[in-house]
């Protein structure tokens, strides 16, 4: 008996490097966080992550940035 072939995976979303650069440039020019993420067209949480970084807590309780 032969197994059915898997469908090829679709490519994921494109990287947002250009939007991140634009967002950080607007923030450097003094624009507020809410105005900058609306201007670039990204989610508020994404803007905060780009601005402050991401914190990951492992099982031992250590925090990595």
Averages of pLDDT over each 10 residues, the chain, 65 residues = 76 83 93 92 90 82 78
The pTM score is: 0.64
Give the pLDDT of residue 10: 81
Evaluated on CA atoms 23, 25, 26, 32, the torsion sign reads positive
Give the pLDDT of residue 1: 60
Strands (E), 1-65: 56-57, 63-64
Alpha-carbon distance of 6 to 40, in angstroms, equals: 37
Give the pLDDT of residue 29: 94
């Amino acid at each position: 008996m032969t197994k059915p072939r898997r469908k090829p995976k679709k490519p994921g979303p494109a990287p947002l490097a250009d939007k991140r650069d634009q967002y950080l440039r607007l923030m450097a020019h003094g624009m507020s966080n809410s105005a900058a993420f609306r201007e670039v067209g990204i989610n508020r949480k994404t803007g905060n992550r780009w601005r402050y970084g991401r914190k990951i807590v492992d099982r031992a309780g250590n925090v990595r940035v």
